[in-house]
Amino acid sequence: MTATCAYFITGTDTDIGKTLVSAAMLHVLAESGIRAAGMKPVAAGAVLRDGVLHNGDADALAAAASVALPAELTTPYLLREPASPHIAAALEGIEINPQHIQACYDRVAAMADAVVVEGVGGFRVPLNATFDTADLAQQLALPVVMVVGLRLGCINHALLSAEAIAARGLKLVGWVGNVVDLGMQHGIANVETLSARLQAPLLGCVPRLPAALPAAAASHLDFSSLPGWPVAAVRRNPSQ
């Protein structure tokens, strides 16, 4: 088995909803009977529970996926310190190896029909002295979905991120707006501005949810325009 579709999920910043959108994608795939695996190659910020390190983002992807895989494959670098990965890794005496990440991805892709790979932070976050998350996206050569945190400044952050994605020869195949600031003014106008300037379809906007659950987020999103997306049915919130 080899994955027939895979996507790299990036964002305009940290804590803007990459994990929620990634988990929503996995939820839709799993609900449709697709063998879907989630990957968070590098996760910084882990706690020890019952002798096992856990990271909230990695755990959320594992819970939404329909293929259960060892954490050593889905998150080959699980770091304790909640800091930029190159700093967190250095504190533990670890060197993040791009070839190891690639090898883990290849094994995950061999055991699933679809793979959702979530980056860390924004598009250009250092992983070691010479390699960052943009390099990782380029190495994996996957179509990119960008999550835009809807707050003041998001237009600039999104357009700069889109330029950086294109500069790496990667295809931005869709973007998602996620409300992170309930007090943001002119939110609709911001989304309209981005829709006019980004050369990728808007997959939907996720409002502030009572609980950040993948199924709830998925009800506001439509992934059917993504290249190779294997789910024919479009899931929509009736209120939209």
Q: Is 169 helix (H, G, I), strand (E, B) or coil?
A: coil
Angle, vertex CA 209, rays to CA 119 and CA 123, nearest 5:
15
* Range 73-93 burial, b when 16+ CB lie within 10 A, else e: bbbbbbbeeeebbbebbbeee
Q: Which class for 232: exposed (0-12), middle (13-18), buried (19 or more C-beta within 10 A)?
A: exposed
Tokens of 78: 């699980």
Tokens of 165: 């994605």
H or E element that contains 25: helix 18-31
Catalytic annotation, pick one of 18, 27, 40, 151: 40
- In whole angstroms, give the CA distance from residue 127 to residue 120: 9
Is there a catalytic annotation at residue 18?
no
Q: Is the dihedral of CA 54, 60, 61, 67 positive or negative?
A: positive
Supply the residues annotated as catalytic: 40
